[in-house]
A and B are shown apart, each in its own frame.
Chain A
Amino acid sequence: MNRTHRSVVLTALAAAAILAACRRQQEPAPVPEPAPAPVETCDQRCRDSIAAAEAATRRRADSIEAANRAAADLARRIEAAKAALTARVLFDYDQSEIRADQRAILDQKLPVLRANPGIRLLVSGHADERGSDEYNIALGQQRAAAVRRYLTDNGIDPSRIQITSYGEERPATTGTDENAYAQNRRAEFEVVAGGENITPP
């Protein structure tokens, strides 16, 4: 019987202890704590994922910027190619030979023409106003033909280069001094086909 009593007491004590523990657990916190900051709630893994996302965003921005840079560069190269194609060539008085200092202007057209087989050019020859009006038609044609010959001698298909002459009818600049005349003795270049999607060389 004694043993039994002891056992009951122990059981009761244990129960009391459990109850006490339970009561303690059910008590509300005496002071509500402030809402924890997210970073405080973010563990290492969370922080890692944020960093990864930020890196991805940065990479995306970098690639857009790079793409923009590339596009701008391409546009610039296309513009440069167009400018090279249409750059004027100047001539000496009553001459249709390509001047040594004008060859580079023609040479810059060659890679553009090679990279864009669809491009066709119209070369127009012009004269200053000092020669006779009718002879200047002939002279303009000689200049346009000399330019065409230079391009075809450098491998450009003749069918891609059309020529015409305007004589002295379309001066680039008005004026009656040598500077104006020099600007007017020229060949001009117009892209008449294949100019929509130029591939820069």
Chain B
Amino acid sequence: MRLSVRRAGGLVLMVAVALATGAVVAHAQDTTRGVRLGLRYTPGTKPGVLVLPANGELGDSARAILQRDFDYGDRINVVTIDASALETPAGSSAQGQYNYPLYARLGAVAVVHPSVTASGIHIAVHDVTTQRIERVREFRLEGEALTPEWRLSLHEVADEVEFWITGERGVSATRILYENGGRIWQIDSDGANPTPLTPVSAAMSPTWHPRATHIAYAARGERDLRIMLRESGGATRVVAGSPGSQYFSPTFGPDGNTLVYARAGEDGATDLYAINPFAPGPPRKITVGRGRASNSPSFSPDGRRIAYMSDRGGTQEIYISDADGTNAEILTPFRFGDQRERSGPDWSPDGRLIAFQGKIDGRFQLFTVSPRDRSPRQHTNDGSNEDPSWAPDSRHLVFASTRTGSRQLFVLDIESGRVRQLTRSGGARLAAWSPLLRGR
């Protein structure tokens, strides 16, 4: 098989060389952001993209990371081929020669050609159909090679290139918070660098500040759960808590100055409250649960509405209300004989969907529902699946699942249904996907 590909490549080379002239002299223009290639991304159609080998050992690592990012983005079909088939003059770009017919035969409509440079990485993207270089840019990579900073800046490159090719920015330059062993951890979107951020403190429910400058989470003090605010540098303080009450499930509003959390008081009732964690002041009570529980809030992207779980009607359902608690309405209506527990809502960054968990046959499954048409769509079947959190692209969800045994994090593409495993050790739950970490 490999031989025939090579032979085919060799034959195609003759044609390619003949056609190459126009391509290599194509003007490498760094067009303004947002201009797409000649390709149009449509849902369900994934353009084939071939990432050419890059120079040197570091080039191999960079290429592997870019390929994986494109693959995990679920908008690109990464064309793979035995590298040796591309190392011949037929496939390589050693002399600025590109074998477009070969790439086309492999199913690629675009070719990404990375080259590691002294300060970063140079990327050229070719349109295979027009046989032209469409975009080039040299990106600076931060930090020492292969450090978390370096990898994050390379993920940014992948996200930008994905935007060039598909018109949609990738979400690989993100990290995911979760709880494991009583600590809050952070892991890169591709599963690299799992790192504990907090001491062991029965921590739970981490959440990101909308600009990723801080995280908030609940952690046990001497006895009770309190809301902690941690700067990205590590400085941490208590922003809400009192003896005998449990403060948990914090979330930031999109303005970054509003933090809403649930407080289970000494009377047993759990209600939502809002504070500005950066300015002292009394908490504002949002829900009036009359002894029942309201928790797990999530803001709409415009900050005007919140979704949350409440059992005020007798069963656990998802409600939406104005951010001050008024105009509350049930989003997942109770039906007779239907005792599903619906909880853990997360409002998508584009505002179109609310993800949550609901119980079927004793196990949680993931659902999404549009606040407009309100018909839930089920996304999982296998094991118990909880705590969905949206990626910035409003297309991927990270969640905790028992499908492989212990509770681990997985990423679901709600358009294709594809699932990949993110964490692999200990247990993991209560994930929170970061905003894009550009320039960080």
Residues on A facing B (Cβ under 8 Å) = 94, 96, 122, 130-135, 137-146, 148-149, 162-165, 169
CB-CB under 8 A from A144, the residues of chain B are 268
Q: Do the beta carbons of B246 and A135 come within 8 Å of each other?
A: no
CB-CB under 8 A from A122, the residues of chain B are 223
Show 29 residue pairs from A and B whose CB-CB distance is below 8 angstroms, ordered by the A residue: A131-B341, A132-B341, A133-B386, A133-B429, A134-B204, A134-B262, A134-B430, A135-B311, A135-B343, A137-B246, A137-B248, A137-B249, A137-B262, A137-B264, A138-B293, A139-B293, A142-B269, A143-B268, A145-B266, A145-B267, A146-B268, A162-B223, A162-B244, A163-B244, A163-B266, A164-B244, A165-B225, A165-B246, A165-B264
Distance to closest chain B CB from A185 (angstroms) = 15
What is the bound-complex CA distance between A192 and B439, given in angstroms?
51
Q: Do the beta carbons of B295 and A134 come within 8 Å of each other?
A: yes
Given contacts A132-B387, A138-B270, 11 further A-B contacts (CB under 8 A): A96-B268, A132-B316, A132-B341, A134-B262, A134-B296, A135-B293, A137-B270, A139-B293, A141-B270, A149-B268, A163-B266
Distance to closest chain B CB from A69 (angstroms) = 41
CB closest chain-B residue, reference A146: B268
Q: Do the beta carbons of A164 and B386 come within 8 Å of each other?
A: no
Q: Do the beta carbons of B344 and A132 come within 8 Å of each other?
A: yes
Partner of B202, one of A94, A132, A143, A169: A169
Which of B262, B269, B293, B429 is packed against the most chain A CB atoms within 10 Å?
B293
Distance to closest chain A CB from B179 (angstroms) = 9
Q: Do the beta carbons of A135 and B295 come within 8 Å of each other?
A: yes
CB-CB under 8 A from A145, the residues of chain B are 266-268
CB-CB under 8 A from B344, the residues of chain A are 132, 134
Main secondary structure of the interface of B (DSSP, over half): strand
Partner of A164, one of B205, B223, B269, B357: B223
Q: Is B281 an interface residue (CB 8 A)?
A: no
* Residues of B236-255 contacting chain A, CB below 8 A: 243-246, 248-249
Which of A137, A139, A144 is packed against the most chain B CB atoms within 10 Å?
A137
CB-CB under 8 A from A94, the residues of chain B are 341
Residues on B facing A (Cβ under 8 Å) = 202, 204-205, 223-225, 243-246, 248-249, 262, 264-270, 293, 295-296, 309, 311, 316, 341, 343-344, 357, 362, 364, 386-387, 429-430
Partner of A138, one of B223, B244, B264: B264
Distance to closest chain A CB from B264 (angstroms) = 4
Q: Do the beta carbons of A133 and B262 come within 8 Å of each other?
A: no
Q: Do the beta carbons of B343 and A134 come within 8 Å of each other?
A: yes
Which of A96, A132, A143, A146 is packed against the most chain B CB atoms within 10 Å?
A132
**Given contacts A134-B248, A134-B296, A169-B202, are A162 and B264 in contact (CB under 8 A)?**
no
What is the bound-complex CA distance between A145 and B309, given in angstroms?
20
What is the bound-complex CA distance between A150 and B202, given in angstroms?
29
Q: Do the beta carbons of A135 and B244 come within 8 Å of each other?
A: no
CB-CB under 8 A from B364, the residues of chain A are 132
What is the bound-complex CA distance between A139 and B267, given in angstroms?
12
**Given contacts A137-B295, A165-B246, are A132 and B357 in contact (CB under 8 A)?**
yes
CB-CB under 8 A from A139, the residues of chain B are 293
What is the bound-complex CA distance between A164 and B246, given in angstroms?
7
CB-CB under 8 A from B249, the residues of chain A are 134, 137
Q: Do the beta carbons of A132 and B386 come within 8 Å of each other?
A: yes
Which of B202, B248, B344 is packed against the most chain A CB atoms within 10 Å?
B248
CB-CB under 8 A from B245, the residues of chain A are 141
Distance to closest chain B CB from A96 (angstroms) = 7
Q: Do the beta carbons of B309 and A135 come within 8 Å of each other?
A: yes
